[in-house]
Copies of this chain bind each other. A is one copy, B any other.
């Protein structure tokens, strides 16, 4: 469907549109304009139209976008029209949080496995999952056709775990380990690093004080 490689900046906004659409459809909204999407997302209306137009002309001039139709298009573009299974590697506090809290409430994505090295953690239940040893990963990947992994292991273990995961067929990694991980071009990584995020926020609090003086 994409005419050429879509800019990652667009790709990161699509799920935002999808979420707004889901909410509005629940409220029986049928038609939605780029202006409405703009006020709910904070992106400009022009940008939203450009983003959507990148994948095709989904709207009706003078009217707006049909919410249900646009939602279906977005699902297809993102790849959420079929269920996606993911695994969580690293069953620390953070991993457990993802295992139960965030994802189970998401209609499109399902956590099908949770893994850790720590023998004390093995066998513990997190929601409907049982924490297993890392060497069970290949089995689960095969059974559920998993391509996406959430990585919440300590920094020093990250690279070796990543190497294993890639070897076993993972092609996308959501990395919460506070370190750079090396992957081949075929694998996509998104890094989220609390320390980096916090420290860069602190920059703004301190410069604000400076400029006020």
Q: List chain A positions with a Cβ less than 8 A from chain B.
A: 2, 6, 8, 11-12, 14-16, 18-19, 40-42, 77-80, 84, 86, 92-94, 96-98, 100-103, 106, 108-109, 147-148, 150, 171-174, 178, 180, 186, 188, 190, 192, 194-208
Among the listed B150, B180, B190, B199, which residue makes an inter-chain contact with A41, where contact means beta carbons less than 8 Å apart? B180
Main secondary structure of the interface of A (DSSP, over half): helix
Given A2-B207, A195-B15, is A172 in contact with B97 using a C-beta cutoff of 8 Å?
no
Q: Which residue of the partner chain B has the closest CB to A176?
A: B102
Asked if A78 and B206 make an inter-chain contact with CB atoms under 8 angstroms apart, the answer reads yes
Give every chain B residue within 8 A of A6 (Cβ-Cβ): 203
Residue of B nearest to A194 (CB): B102
Contact of A188 among B80, B102, B180, B205 (CB under 8 A): B205
Residue in B closest to A1 when the chains form the complex, CB atoms: B210
Alpha-carbon distance between A108 and B6 when the two chains are bound, in angstroms: 39
Quick check: A148 and B201 within 8 Å, CB to CB? yes
Q: In whole angstroms, how far apart are the Cα atoms of A15 and B194 in the complex?
A: 11
Contacts of A109 in B (CB 8 A): 195, 198-199, 202
Query: A93 — which chain B residues lie within 8 A by C-beta?
Result: 93, 96-97, 100-101
Which residues of B have CB within 8 Å of A16? 196
When distances are taken between beta carbons in the complex, the residues of chain B under 8 Å from A80 are 199, 202
Excluding A109-B195, A148-B201, 8 further A-B contacts by CB distance (< 8 Å) are: A14-B200, A15-B196, A78-B200, A84-B205, A93-B93, A94-B97, A98-B194, A148-B198
